[in-house]
Amino acid sequence: GQSLEQPSEVTAVEGAIVQINCTYQTSGFYGLSWYQQHDGGAPTFLSYNGLDGLEETGRFSSFLSRSDSYGYLLLQELQMKDSASYFCAVRTMNSGYSTLTFGKGTMLLVSP
Amino acid sequence: KAGVTQTPRYLIKTRGQQVTLSCSPISGHRSVSWYQQTPGQGLQFLFEYFSETQRNKGNFPGRFSGRQFSNSRSEMNVSTLELGDSALYLCASSRTVDNSPLHFGNGTRLTVT
Chain A, chain B: beta-carbon pairs less than 8 Å apart: 56
User: CA Rg, chain A, in Å?
Assistant: 14
Distance from CA of B4 to the nearest CA of A (A): 10
Q: Given a cut of 70, is residue B1 above it in pLDDT?
A: no
pLDDT at residue A96, rounded to an integer:
77
- For chain B, say whether A60 makes contact (Cβ under 8 Å): no
Residues of B in contact with A62 (CB under 8 A): none
Closest C-alpha to B58, from B68, B72, B69, B48: B48
Q: Kindly report the nearest CA distance between residue A49 and chain B, in angstroms.
A: 9
pLDDT digits (tens, 9 = 90+) for B57-95: 999 999 999 999 999 999 999 999 999 999 999 999 998
Query: Which of B42, B97, B106 is closest, CB to CB, to A105?
Result: B42
Summarised one tens digit per residue, pLDDT across range A38-77 is: 998 999 999 999 999 999 989 999 999 999 999 999 999 9
Q: What is the pLDDT of residue B8?
A: 97
- What's the distance, CA A4 to chain centroid? 10
Would you say the C-alpha torsion B86, B50, B63, A93 has a positive or negative sign?
negative
DSSP for chain A, please give it.
Answer: --EEE--SEEEEETT--EEEEEEEE-SSEEEEEEEEE-TTS--EEEEEESSSEEEEETTEEEEEETTTTEEEEEE-S--GGG-EEEEEEEEEEETTEEEEEE---EEEEEE-
